[in-house]
């Protein structure tokens, strides 16, 4: 019976050594994973800060774009008004030239007869 107990004891010790190695391996893996987790957490925090910065930049760009858009629309309106005024002045010049032509033709005929 002592041999059986000794054999059971050796088997138990071998099993304990196997379990001890497995436990050491699991603990080592746990430490690697803990380190990776800390690294990922730090990266996540940095990305969160970067994201907040990017959002603030986007807000500024959108605000500036809105101001530029309003300025552009104001310039378009002003250009439209100036163009309309220019066209009105061109039409008025054409009318005045026509009136001058109508007035100048008889005058030129009169002067022509006087100078001959």
Residue among 43, 21, 40 nearest 32 (CA) = 40
Comparing 114 with 14, which gets the higher pLDDT? 14
Hey, what long-range contacts does 107-116 have (CB within 8 A, 24 or more apart)? none
Go through the chain and tell me how many residues it has.
Answer: 116
pLDDT digits (tens, 9 = 90+) for 59-95: 999 999 999 999 999 999 999 999 999 999 999 999 9
Rounded to an integer, what distance in angstroms lies between the CA atom of residue 102 and that of residue 116?
22
- pTM of the shown model: 0.51
Res. 1 pLDDT band, cuts 50 70 90: low
Tokens of 5: 């107990």
Tokens of 77: 């309106």
pLDDT (0 to 100) of residue 108: 77
Q: Return the residue matching tokens 């996540």.
A: 44
């Amino acid at each position: 019976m002592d041999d059986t107990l000794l054999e059971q004891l050796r088997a138990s010790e071998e099993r304990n050594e196997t379990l001890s190695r497995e436990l050491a391996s699991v603990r080592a893996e746990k430490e690697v994973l803990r380190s990776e987790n800390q690294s990922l957490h730090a990266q996540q925090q940095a990305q969160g800060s970067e994201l907040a910065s990017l959002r603030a930049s986007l807000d500024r760009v959108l605000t500036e774009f809105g101001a530029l858009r309003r300025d552009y629309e104001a310039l378009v309106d002003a250009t439209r008004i100036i163009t309309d005024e220019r066209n009105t002045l061109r039409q008025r010049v054409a009318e005045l030239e026509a009136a001058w032509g109508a007035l100048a033709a008889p005058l030129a005929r009169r002067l022509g007869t006087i100078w001959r």
